[in-house]
Amino acid sequence: MNDMRVVSFRKIIFILLVFGTLVGTISLFQVSADKTSKTISDLAGRTVDIPTDVDRVAALVGPSYEKIFLLGALDKICLTHPLPKQMPWAKRVIPNLSNIPSVTSAQDPNMEELVNQNVDLVFFWDFPKPVDKMNDIGIPVVVTQTTTTDQQAQSIEQFRELIKGEVTLFGEVLGQDAQKKVEDYNNFFDEKVDRILKVTSLIPESERPKVYYVRGPDPLTTHGKNMYTQWWVEMAGGKLVSADISEGVPKVSIEQVISWNPDIIVMGRVNSTSPILDDPTWSDISAVKTGKVYTNPEGVMYWDYSSEGVLLLEYLAKLFHPEKFENINMNDEIKEYYAKFYGYSLTYDEAERILHHLPPA
């Protein structure tokens, strides 16, 4: 079955579904003798049949485009989340990003857009209704991001395995060439994490700074229990003040932040510290009084939500305990990462701009 016949088949299914004449689920792989398939398990624990050779993917879940680029499979992306084109460093570093079409809505994708692009599979969240709609037109969905806190890592060790497991899953889907790069990334990740934990695991609770993390887009939206940020902060030798909140992305009150009285504030997906430093309601908080309010670095993807999180770990460790990590030069670490995994040679000034949440000059 050639590509045009696959597209036509899916269009027929789509039309039938629109008019309500198709009952049940039709799988492309049940009727196509020309495409072999294999079975994988995704991060939601679902068993998914996917093509053995994947050529065209829709990278809809937020950080999926970065994972695919990391693994050298950019040419397989035929549709993406609108986010990459809003990330200044993604546009600078990723070749031909502007030529890849974006979906109208990533979280509730238009089925016709997927069919028209002849998508082999979709990287997605664990949202049941869109997943069912995509399955109904014969497009397999691989969940690489779960959305409830009880499905997240419950410990540092589980978190380490989750981060490596995400990359491993992408490699399993994308093929042998990508799988070779998975081992490189996972070894690199373990090496960097071990170096940090060797120091921070010995830091007593009394010496760990209280950290408030601004998830954004506003200063009172943060991250809660078992979210990635909790583990990056803890591994770096800090205490996330919002770690007891069961909601993943909670909105808190200024009174709550004042009662926490964090020693350090890190501004995540916010371009400036001014929303806090210029607001007098934050002025009595310890981090503001001592000038310890920082914008998070930002590169090809948000550091708190992507494979670049290993850089966030190093950054936070140095921020929290500068005397213990004098040997870490973040400019060098960023340049090393971009050269090794993205094939992009940053200048010193470019790495500094990433470090200070600034776009390319």
pLDDT of residue 26: 42
Q: How far is CA 213 from CA 64, 107, 140, 210, in A?
A: 23, 25, 36, 10
Q: Are residues 31 and 111 in the same domain?
A: yes
Kindly tell me if the per-residue pLDDT of 151 is higher than 70: yes
Same domain? 140 vs 194: no
Same domain membership, residue 185 and residue 122: no
**Residues 341 and 205 reside in one and the same domain:** yes
What per-residue confidence (pLDDT) applies to 147?
85
Q: What is the per-residue pLDDT for 4?
A: 46
Q: What are phi and psi for residue 289, nearest 5 degrees?
A: -60, -35
pLDDT of residue 249: 93
Same domain, 136 and 14: yes
Residue 62 pLDDT > 50, yes or no? yes
Do 196 and 279 belong together in one domain?
A: yes
Q: Does residue 224 belong to any structural domain of this protein?
A: yes
Coil, strand or helix at 100: coil
Q: Are residues 198 and 340 in the same domain?
A: yes
Q: What is the DSSP string of 199-255?
A: HHTTS-GGGSPEEEEE-SSSTTB---TTSHHHHHHHHTT-EETTTT-SSSS-B--HH
Provide, for the chain, the percentages of residues in helix, strand and coil under a 3-state DSSP scheme, each rounded to the nearest 5: 45, 15, 40
pLDDT score for 84: 95
d(CA 170, CA 255) in angstroms, rounded, equals 42
Nearest one of 240, 262, 236, 241 to 330, comparing CA atoms: 236
Ordered alpha helix ranges (H), 40-174: 64-70, 88-93, 111-116, 128-136, 156-174
List pLDDT tens digits, range 300-335: 999 999 999 999 999 999 999 999 999 999 999 999
What gap in Å lies between CA 166 and CA 189, rounded to an integer?
12
Whether residue 289 has pLDDT greater than 90: yes
Average pLDDT (93-99) is 93
Residue 330: give the domain boundaries: 180-355
Structural tokens at position 105: 């809505």
Residue 165 lies in a domain: no
Q: Do 199 and 343 fall within a single domain?
A: yes
153-195, pLDDT tens digit by residue?
A: 999 999 999 999 999 999 999 999 999 999 999 999 999 999 9
Provide the CATH number for the domain around residue 140. Answer: 3.40.50.1980
The secondary element (H helix, E strand) that includes residue 312 is: helix 309-320
